[in-house]
Structure 1
Amino acid sequence: MKTNIEREEIIKAINVLLNQAYDSTLDEILVLLKRIEEAEEEEELKAYDEAKEDIRINGTVNWKEVKKEINLG
């Protein structure tokens, strides 16, 4: 995960390039960003469904057991 400063620098660099881009390029970039967002949403939903299925099959973990394992580790 990037720091706020790193993110701001990247966004500034992207904005410079976007301001220099042709309109058709901007349209293509928008389509690509939307596809990326949709793919990320699909991945999140898949992970959520897999976690639910894992809980259904294996049950949940007792919180006291988790705390014990953390303290022993």
Structure 2
Amino acid sequence: MQSQQAKRLEKVADAISAIKDPLVRLAAAREARERFEQLELEQVKRLRREGATWSKIGALYGLTKQGAQQRFKSRIDAT
């Protein structure tokens, strides 16, 4: 069964896919990706502040502790 969040994201993706002009569609997809990446980074930062381990964060991505650190740590430290 699909979660409510997944259904909402699917609707967003469908709306972007329905844009007729390919350049406008690409621009919308790029903007959505950038916004979701920022949201993702904010959530990782928040989890770390609240004491979540890199191992737990990595598990959400199918990564090891080291993999999660490589993916996010430098981006978190840069902000």
Higher helix content, 1 or 2: 1
Instruction: Tell me the TM-score range normalised by the shorter chain.
Output: 0.3 to 0.5
Whose radius of gyration is greater, 1 or 2?
A: 1
Return the TM-score normalized by structure 1.
0.46
Q: Which has the higher contact order (CA 8 A, sep 6+)?
A: 2
Return the TM-score normalized by structure 2.
0.43
